[in-house]
Amino acid sequence: MKPINTFIEGEEVTGFYLLKSVNIKQTNGNSPKDYFDLILGDSTGEIVAKFWEASATDKETFFAPMLVKIKGHVHLYRDKLQFKVVQIRPANAEDGHQITDFLRSAPVAPTDLVSTISAAAATIQDADYKWIVDQCLAKVGDKLLHYPAAKTMHHAFYAGLAYHMVRMLELAEFIVTQRPFLNRDLLITGIILHDIAKTEELTAELGIVSEYSFTGKLIGHISLAVNWITESAIKRGIDLNDEKLVMLQHLILSHHNLGEWGSPIQPQLPEAIALHLIDQMDAKLQAAEDAVMGVAESGSWSAPVRALENRPMYRGKDKI
Amino acid sequence: MKPINTFIEGEEVTGFYLLKSVNIKQTNGNSPKDYFDLILGDSTGEIVAKFWEASATDKETFFAPMLVKIKGHVHLYRDKLQFKVVQIRPANAEDGHQITDFLRSAPVAPTDLVSTISAAAATIQDADYKWIVDQCLAKVGDKLLHYPAAKTMHHAFYAGLAYHMVRMLELAEFIVTQRPFLNRDLLITGIILHDIAKTEELTAELGIVSEYSFTGKLIGHISLAVNWITESAIKRGIDLNDEKLVMLQHLILSHHNLGEWGSPIQPQLPEAIALHLIDQMDAKLQAAEDAVMGVAESGSWSAPVRALENRPMYRGKDKI
Amino acid sequence: MKPINTFIEGEEVTGFYLLKSVNIKQTNGNSPKDYFDLILGDSTGEIVAKFWEASATDKETFFAPMLVKIKGHVHLYRDKLQFKVVQIRPANAEDGHQITDFLRSAPVAPTDLVSTISAAAATIQDADYKWIVDQCLAKVGDKLLHYPAAKTMHHAFYAGLAYHMVRMLELAEFIVTQRPFLNRDLLITGIILHDIAKTEELTAELGIVSEYSFTGKLIGHISLAVNWITESAIKRGIDLNDEKLVMLQHLILSHHNLGEWGSPIQPQLPEAIALHLIDQMDAKLQAAEDAVMGVAESGSWSAPVRALENRPMYRGKDKI
Amino acid sequence: MKPINTFIEGEEVTGFYLLKSVNIKQTNGNSPKDYFDLILGDSTGEIVAKFWEASATDKETFFAPMLVKIKGHVHLYRDKLQFKVVQIRPANAEDGHQITDFLRSAPVAPTDLVSTISAAAATIQDADYKWIVDQCLAKVGDKLLHYPAAKTMHHAFYAGLAYHMVRMLELAEFIVTQRPFLNRDLLITGIILHDIAKTEELTAELGIVSEYSFTGKLIGHISLAVNWITESAIKRGIDLNDEKLVMLQHLILSHHNLGEWGSPIQPQLPEAIALHLIDQMDAKLQAAEDAVMGVAESGSWSAPVRALENRPMYRGKDKI
Amino acid sequence: MKPINTFIEGEEVTGFYLLKSVNIKQTNGNSPKDYFDLILGDSTGEIVAKFWEASATDKETFFAPMLVKIKGHVHLYRDKLQFKVVQIRPANAEDGHQITDFLRSAPVAPTDLVSTISAAAATIQDADYKWIVDQCLAKVGDKLLHYPAAKTMHHAFYAGLAYHMVRMLELAEFIVTQRPFLNRDLLITGIILHDIAKTEELTAELGIVSEYSFTGKLIGHISLAVNWITESAIKRGIDLNDEKLVMLQHLILSHHNLGEWGSPIQPQLPEAIALHLIDQMDAKLQAAEDAVMGVAESGSWSAPVRALENRPMYRGKDKI
Amino acid sequence: MKPINTFIEGEEVTGFYLLKSVNIKQTNGNSPKDYFDLILGDSTGEIVAKFWEASATDKETFFAPMLVKIKGHVHLYRDKLQFKVVQIRPANAEDGHQITDFLRSAPVAPTDLVSTISAAAATIQDADYKWIVDQCLAKVGDKLLHYPAAKTMHHAFYAGLAYHMVRMLELAEFIVTQRPFLNRDLLITGIILHDIAKTEELTAELGIVSEYSFTGKLIGHISLAVNWITESAIKRGIDLNDEKLVMLQHLILSHHNLGEWGSPIQPQLPEAIALHLIDQMDAKLQAAEDAVMGVAESGSWSAPVRALENRPMYRGKDKI
């Protein structure tokens, strides 16, 4: 199969791709007719496609996300590659393809990621923190196996959220070794819970965020996670003014550092400083890595990267 | 008794005043000796005072807040009036003074303010909102009778918090009449709860804030109020994703409007817009009123007002 | 007649609508021909329309604003509804339609709004303020019967300016009752005059702003209103340094509060604070009300609202 | 006479100086007594002084601004030089000193500056602009002979305002030669009028600003100048919508360039751009020149300069 | 030849124009075919053009920049004029046109500009500064004869960089006469070198910038110029800590004034202040002049000007 | 010896301390006399001290930095502890104290730190990078054994700069293991050189910065380091446009991330992102660690920490 990020202008392509979005539109002009405005994807990228000959039956047949076999041409439209579909049919069992092979996914198996997180949770010494972590992980359930960490900013792929957590846990283990004055339990707990409510803030399927949920828009993942912690604490009978609990909620509330980035309170614990910096380190380096990995063979510069303040990244010719 | 805001340079004063702060310090120079660095107050204002002849017994006798009889002189020090104490003794029962007469207080009796708030709560039609309001009011208890609304920004006086709530409720009643599309229950509930956790965020006695509490610093009154609402909802069995509950938490979270002013989420409900604006209207007009009321007879301009972006207020010569 | 805000994709529509804008364009491609690019409107909304078969006569016939009878189809173009015109003719007297029925208009009759403003002007006790208000109202003349308050921000409809003034006057009456220390004459005068020069800043017909005028761009409505006040004062022989006059000009100059929002000076009178806040309250709640009222039956969220810092508004399912 | 900017720690000084400010204060401690807190000045600088032995008669004798003969010692107090007065008496006619010799003043005679400005005004071709300039200059009258251009920012000296105008006129003549497309009349008129209302905004004597006036605080020199122009135009019967008049008011309104710097409207005419830049050029280079000229012989760095965004200036060892 | 800035909708045009950009694209729809998306230019402006009938040979024939003879029609597309090409052929020697006649160019001959710069360099008294200037000018070589000063901001035309330098030199001569305390050598050197590395930062041909170079993106013209100065100084054996050298590097580093505008250090020398202001004066007045000169005969307002904070410029009806 | 951070009000202290600053001042009042205004320090902190009985001989005897034996009293002055010196003499050889024992110093021996840095330099594979690093380290010489990393922000102690580099190198080794796509040579080189020119930007002795140097103020450590790299490259004959060299200079130039923080160019290489983040991580966690370690036994909160956006840090009661 030809990977989408290798498509070049003018070539004809036949193969299996993921239908990531399907819209029925009408052509403009005197005799308008219906056509499909599509987004095709695979694990390497995505491309806009048009299917001008969509029939009435087609409208009942194709929905996103779905795996399809497709034939057509790559051409340039307003400086971007676009795909003109000539033939399209749904993939079937005999084709032998798994939809998950067509998604970008974390480079580690989701079950391994979740195991790693559970293992980290098990090392928390403080029984209250461990209880709260267990409650929240239970609440999330299987979503951890596939949720991305964001819509587009960073780790926007299958199991991206769990992958982000695991990498942050690795970094945290190094940091607490380098600076033993830090409270490891508090930091590990903070890492596991800091973005956990993104599973409620975002509506996602197959690692693709379609929209922010109602509670996501009106409350946001930071305050949602604090609600979950409050709920868990009440269940266990922890006083809401308990110092440990207050410190944990503080870590969640302050992990975006500044008010204009969504934190209602600013970091006032060393572990809160650490959580914010570890989060930044993993998010920004992942975005930089994705950007340079996505530069075409022949090129040197990525597109502007939103998570890196809209700067493009340069890929050096080779390692020196 | 001579009100403090009428003190003038050079005069001798004898009378009862409130000791709002007591610090023991040492004079500088070759033979250091102890003295008292004081703040005297009454319902009209406050003044820095020094008592150079403080004895060992005095150190055991005087603490803040306490009512004292005092004799001394007003003089100018670094462009500000200061008071030199010659004699000082604690007030006693025979003196016939109440400490509360020496505090600035809301212009309405605290019990009346609390009754008004309770009455407003009773008009809430929605049983869940009414439950949550009742729970939170019960949690605050008598603090509502005396807490100020802030350390210095606005309504920083005895029962200032309840007074602020009552005036906002008045404004809200007018606004919902002018714009019936607004959800009155949601708005009234939001007003009663928006600053309710200031009773936990701030440590205050007699309407005077001494400091921010531990939970106040690490969590803040906005997220604390959300925690209280979550706690009340769980007690009643309301689902945390219930639309009404989410909307109420949204009002609390967004009432400072912008991230840099402490709101982790921005208003997305008309009632949230209204709550923010009603809060601003009452806080800023109160600050402006306090400022012009505090201008000396002979003057025209107030000091810069922190709640009004550090601008001074001008007091017009008279109403036209 | 089918209201525009109820149009759905695919349906055929025949009816009377307002031509809000007419542009003659050429099709792209090898044999370009002329067509009409139109905006149709009624009191409920507006829609882009194309008339591909425009004849030479048509170009002489159709201009905006004009009432027309139209037949055509609704379809989707770039995610937005668009109208394809099949037939079009000007409305005539026999059709029995008034152009004003096709405009969004204030919910109160313009003559009633103007009467209310005149009545408020008549209650001003200070003879100088009353003179200035009368002069400025006379200068505006009939424009007050139809001018909108802005191009798009808020009250962008027929008689929106007068409606905004009336609602602010209502609010002001409440506020001066709640806070009697405020100078009612100054505040009422400030409200009537604060946006009065929008009638010169903006070029508008039938409540629709087509552009900013030359003086609007180079001077702006704030400084224009100050010029009008200066002119009125000179006519009556009021000294330009008269305290009352200075205070009134201050209210106008400072009513946008901050320099970056267009005020060259910041509020330093309680009435200036009040004017700014009353203006905000009415403008933002009107924008919020318009937004939720404009949400389709089937939807919950409005488009982002410019006057509300580009946030969308949520319409709650029902009043609780 | 020893210039103040040559005073060094430890020396005794006798001479004539200007009393720029006199405050009577009381010493702190057990037996408070009155003393004078003074600012002494001459054309080279100023120094804080204390006169501890002030008698009752002295309090009736000394006021600012007044020329005095003084004897005392220079010492260091909190890292700054201070002067301890031992003897003080008012200067008298026999002493043969002029108070103006003790002020910092423009390096050109004030009457010459005013003549230059009048001469420039006389070159304005447009009769309306010339009328308005003449009216405004007449309104200012003799103030132009001594007013400074600001309290502290730049040209804060005797006749500083006129000097600033003259230097800007010189620059403008060069610029219009370099770029003949500019409207010279408009630019020259704009330069003469842009800061003319500082004579009303600021209260000043002998080139020293004591405070902002009431109208200065509530209206500001930008809108005041616009009022003057409106007044002059009305007197001559120029329509307020006349293009030339609008363009002139635009120059005044926009000359601070940004809203946050006090301009309610931004430059939209090339001459408005030019006026802003010429104003900046003269103000900032004057501030830089003052700063390096004020660096002590032995030093290299000035204090931070407010008009230069609080940066200190370095004085190069010599011209290369 | 009809100048591009006089094209009007509907007319047919035949003539010689510069091909500033050539892109081959495909039409959308069922039977896609190739066409040319072009930009045509002359010394007065540019216009987008389409050539729908592009043949296979044409694709081998036309590249930018190239002079062509063209025939076609002007029409309106999305509110902007566009050109539909009917015939096109390369210009040849017999046509007798020079490509440079079709470029916007500085109004002074490039060789004269370079001579003026060399002459200014020759007046530098300090031998070290003169050496460094000579080295850097030698390094730039002929690029000074044609490089623009920017991609779009200001002086974006043939020899725009040299023209900008010359006009700044003129201004500087005036300023050092007005303020003799300034170090002329330092200022003149700073002007010649401040933008000299734009010849490395930008990739340009015929005065048209196609892109930022690799070193331009990663280092920028400010630090590049500092590198050149360091290189020249080392070659001559000047110590890198030499005061004169440090002052010169300071001028280059600080000439954008603020960190957010690209200067890593802020001006702390009067000459650095002067350099920044002279640069601003020339860049902004040039942008304003270009804007009003580009306003169509029938119009009054330019498009928003990027170098003038996106404000449009108004062209007054005539000089008064 | 009593550590300074354990001093309490009222106690008498005798011991050896470091004289960190000596100023001779005069008492105010009628008979001024000289006294010493001192700062005493040890490895735990510092305290302001006064010696009122300073003799003429004393003025010749005491200078900073010097080790002294001192006797006196701790008292409170303006809410801060101060020390009143009764006796003072210089320490001598017999006293057996080393001045370095009285300084706060990195927790690792400076020679070990420098060895670690040299060892890291030796692992750089690229010969050019290794050459440049060796040149720059040679240029710094012994300063690396004692320079602090800043005046007050972070690592403001003896050998703080080397310690900061070593900890960043540790972090970098972890990061390149976690993300092998990063160019290790470039990152290691960048870390060693990013702050190396602080040894020229700051004037420091015994780990204490007294001021910014002349070149530090006018050029800054970022551009100074770039100059050093240029100088080294020229010495080795590396072309200034060599990609590797450009990338290295880019890392230095962009390591403060934003223009307003001093970087003239923003990070566009993954290694530049990493360098910035590693620098932040080490600087901020060090500042947080210093803050909580400096909280008194009896307290919970540090003073506001400048490197942490002026927030105070809370020290949790114990590790959970």
pLDDT digits (tens, 9 = 90+) for D52-93: 888 888 888 998 888 999 999 998 776 678 899 999 999 998
- Is residue A71 domain-shared with residue A20, that is, in the same domain? yes
User: What are the pLDDT digits (tens) for B186-243?
Assistant: 999 999 999 999 999 999 988 888 889 999 999 999 999 999 999 999 999 999 999 9
Domain final position from F62, F80, F101: F101
Q: Total structural domains in chain A?
A: 2
- Is residue B76 domain-shared with residue B159, that is, in the same domain? no
Q: Give me the phi and psi of E85, to 5 degrees please.
A: -80, 130
Beta bridge partners of D271: none
Chain E residues touching D313 at Cβ < 8 A: 268-270
Q: By residue range, what is the domain housing residue B137?
A: 110-288
Q: For residue B216, give the 3-state DSSP assignment.
A: helix
Domain final position from D101, D134, D157: D101
User: Can you say whether the dihedral through the CA atoms of F68, F74, F76, F80 is positive or negative?
Assistant: positive
User: What are the pLDDT digits (tens) for B147-186?
Assistant: 999 988 889 899 999 999 999 999 999 999 999 999 999 9
- Is residue A201 domain-shared with residue A284, that is, in the same domain? yes
Beta bridge partners of B69: B16, B89
Q: Does A314 touch chain E (CB under 8 A)?
A: yes
Chain E residues touching F266 at Cβ < 8 A: none
- Is residue A268 domain-shared with residue A122, that is, in the same domain? yes
Tokens in use for C306? 């410019």
pLDDT over 90, % of chain D: 69
* CA-to-CA separations, A65 to A22, A106, A208, A210, D40, in angstroms, rounded: 9, 19, 10, 11, 83
Q: Do B218 and A247 lie within an 8 Å CB cutoff? A: yes
With respect to residue C305, please indicate whether it lies within any of the assigned structural domains.
Answer: no
Domain final position from D101, D130, D156: D101
With respect to residue E298, please indicate whether it lies within any of the assigned structural domains.
Answer: no
Whole-angstrom Cα distance, residue D38 to residue D58?
13
Q: Does F8 touch chain B (CB under 8 A)?
A: no
Mean pLDDT of the D273-298 span: 92
Chain D residues touching E269 at Cβ < 8 A: 313-314, 316
Q: For residue A18, give the 3-state DSSP assignment.
A: strand
With respect to residue A297, please indicate whether it lies within any of the assigned structural domains.
Answer: no
Residue E91: CA atoms inside 13 Å, Cβ hemisphere, count?
20
Whole-angstrom Cα distance, residue A46 to residue A82?
10
Q: Do F76 and B32 lie within an 8 Å CB cutoff? A: no
| Mean model confidence pLDDT for chain D | 92
Q: Are E231 and F230 in contact (CB under 8 A)?
A: yes
**What count of other Cβ atoms lies within 10 Å of the Cβ of residue B293?**
13
Minimal-distance CA residue of chain E relative to C29:
E52
- Is residue E153 domain-shared with residue E283, that is, in the same domain? yes
Tokens in use for C91? 């409305």
- Is residue A67 domain-shared with residue A183, that is, in the same domain? no
Q: Does F106 touch chain A (CB under 8 A)?
A: no
Kindly report the nearest CA distance between residue B279 and chain A, in angstroms: 18
Please provide the DSSP assignment of chain D as one string: ---GGG--TT-EEEEEEEEEEEEEEE--SSS--EEEEEEEEETTEEEEEEETT--HHHHHH--SSEEEEEEEEEEEETTEEEEEEEEEEE--GGG---GGGGS-B-SS-HHHHHHHHHHHHHT---HHHHHHHHHHHHHHGGGGGT--S-SSSS--SBTHHHHHHHHHHHHHHHHHHH-TTS-HHHHHHHHHHHTTTHHHHEEEETTEEEEE-HHHHHTHHHHHHHHHHHHHHHHHT--TT-HHHHHHHHHHHHTT-SGGGT-SS---SHHHHHHHHHHHHHHHHHHHHHHHHTS-TT--BPPPBGGGTTB--B--SS--
User: What are the pLDDT digits (tens) for F178-222?
Assistant: 999 999 999 999 999 999 999 999 999 888 888 899 999 999 999
Whole-angstrom Cα distance, residue E220 to residue E210?
16
With respect to residue B314, please indicate whether it lies within any of the assigned structural domains.
Answer: no
With respect to residue D311, please indicate whether it lies within any of the assigned structural domains.
Answer: no
Tokens in use for A233? 């604490």
Burial class (CB in 10 A: 0-12, 13-18, 19+), D208: buried
| Selected residues 230-249 of chain A with any CB under 8 Å from a CB in chain B | 230-231, 234, 240-241, 243, 246-247, 249
Helix axis angle, B184-194 to B110-122, nearest 10°: 150
Chains in contact with E, counting 3 or more C-beta pairs less than 8 Å apart as contact: A, C, D, F
Q: Do F77 and B217 lie within an 8 Å CB cutoff? A: no
Q: Does E141 touch chain A (CB under 8 A)?
A: no
Q: Are B68 and B88 in contact (CB under 8 A)?
A: yes
Kindly report the nearest CA distance between residue F252 and chain E, in angstroms: 10
**Which H helix or E strand runs over C222?**
helix C220-236
With respect to residue F21, please indicate whether it lies within any of the assigned structural domains.
Answer: yes
Whole-angstrom Cα distance, residue D54 to residue C31?
99
Residue A29 pLDDT exceeds 60: no
* CA-to-CA separations, F122 to A279, C169, E39, F136, in angstroms, rounded: 32, 78, 55, 14
Whole-angstrom Cα distance, residue B164 to residue A2?
67
Does residue B271 or residue D8 have the better pLDDT?
B271
pLDDT over 90, % of chain B: 69
Chain F residues touching D76 at Cβ < 8 A: 25-26
Minimal-distance CA residue of chain E relative to A80:
E25
Tokens in use for B56? 């060992």
Beta bridge partners of D35: D25
Chain A residues touching F304 at Cβ < 8 A: none
Whole-angstrom Cα distance, residue A18 to residue A26?
23
Q: Do A185 and F289 lie within an 8 Å CB cutoff? A: no
- Taking alpha carbons only, the member of C247, C207, C257, C211 closest to residue C226 is C247
Whole-angstrom Cα distance, residue C320 to residue B187?
12
- Is residue A144 domain-shared with residue A51, that is, in the same domain? no
Chains in contact with C, counting 3 or more C-beta pairs less than 8 Å apart as contact: A, B, D, E
List the single best residue of D26, D37, D77, D212 to mutate versus B (max B Cβ within 10 A).
D26
Q: Does F132 touch chain A (CB under 8 A)?
A: no
Q: Does E31 touch chain A (CB under 8 A)?
A: no
* Residue listed under structure tokens 């001469």: D119
Q: Does A214 touch chain B (CB under 8 A)?
A: yes
The confidence score (pLDDT) of residue F318 equals 61
- Is residue E72 domain-shared with residue E147, that is, in the same domain? no
Among F23, F32, F214, the residue with its CB nearest the CB of D75 is: F32
The confidence score (pLDDT) of residue C29 equals 54
Quote the DSSP letter at residue F2: -
Touching, D vs F (3+ Cβ pairs under 8 A)? yes
Tens-binned pLDDT, residue by residue, of chain C (320 aa) = 799 888 888 889 999 999 988 888 876 655 667 789 999 988 888 899 999 888 888 888 998 888 999 999 998 776 678 899 999 999 998 998 988 888 889 999 999 999 999 999 999 999 999 999 999 999 999 999 999 999 888 898 999 999 999 999 999 999 999 999 999 999 999 999 999 999 999 999 888 888 899 999 999 999 999 999 999 999 999 999 999 999 999 999 999 999 999 999 999 999 999 999 999 999 999 999 999 988 877 788 988 999 999 999 999 876 44
With respect to residue D310, please indicate whether it lies within any of the assigned structural domains.
Answer: no
Q: Do E243 and F268 lie within an 8 Å CB cutoff? A: no
- Is residue D173 domain-shared with residue D213, that is, in the same domain? yes
With respect to residue A299, please indicate whether it lies within any of the assigned structural domains.
Answer: no
Determine which of B265-269, D130-134, E265-269, F85-89 has the lowest per-residue pLDDT on average: F85-89
Q: How far is CA A256 from the centre of its chain?
A: 18
Chain E residues touching A73 at Cβ < 8 A: 32
CATH at residue B67: 2.40.50.140
Mean pLDDT of the D248-264 span: 97
Beta strands in chain A (DSSP E): 12-26, 34-42, 45-51, 66-77, 80-90, 202-205, 208-212
- Is residue A215 domain-shared with residue A133, that is, in the same domain? yes
User: Can you say whether the dihedral through the CA atoms of B195, B199, B204, B209 is positive or negative?
Assistant: negative
Among A30, A32, A214, the residue with its CB nearest the CB of C75 is: A32
Residue B22: CA atoms inside 13 Å, Cβ hemisphere, count?
18
- Taking alpha carbons only, the member of F313, A37, D106, A182 closest to residue C76 is A37
- Is residue B126 domain-shared with residue B229, that is, in the same domain? yes
Question: Which conformational region is residue C276 in: left (phi greater than 0), alpha (psi within -120 to 50 degrees), or beta?
Answer: alpha
Whole-angstrom Cα distance, residue C279 to residue C289?
15
Number of H helices, E strands in chain C: 10, 7
Kindly report the nearest CA distance between residue C23 and chain E, in angstroms: 9
Chain D residues touching C234 at Cβ < 8 A: 231, 234
Tens-binned pLDDT, residue by residue, of chain E (320 aa) = 799 988 888 889 999 999 988 888 876 655 667 789 999 988 888 899 999 888 888 888 998 888 999 999 998 776 678 899 999 999 998 998 988 888 889 999 999 999 999 999 999 999 999 999 999 999 999 999 999 999 888 898 999 999 999 999 999 999 999 999 999 999 999 999 999 999 999 999 888 888 899 999 999 999 999 999 999 999 999 999 999 999 999 999 999 999 999 999 999 999 999 999 999 999 999 999 999 988 877 789 998 999 999 999 999 876 44
Kindly report the nearest CA distance between residue D172 and chain B, in angstroms: 37
Confidence of residue B320 (pLDDT cuts 50, 70, 90): very low
Kindly report the nearest CA distance between residue C25 and chain E, in angstroms: 6
Chains in contact with F, counting 3 or more C-beta pairs less than 8 Å apart as contact: A, B, D, E
Kindly report the nearest CA distance between residue F133 and chain B, in angstroms: 43
Q: Do F73 and B28 lie within an 8 Å CB cutoff? A: no
Among A223, A231, A268, the residue with its CB nearest the CB of B226 is: A223
Amino acid at F3: P
Q: Are D270 and E289 in contact (CB under 8 A)?
A: yes
Residue D39 pLDDT exceeds 80: yes
- Is residue A29 domain-shared with residue A157, that is, in the same domain? no
| Selected residues 174-213 of chain D with any CB under 8 Å from a CB in chain E | 174-175, 178-179, 181, 183, 185-186
* CA-to-CA separations, D172 to C46, D164, D307, F120, in angstroms, rounded: 51, 12, 22, 61
Among B77, B79, B300, the residue with its CB nearest the CB of D28 is: B77
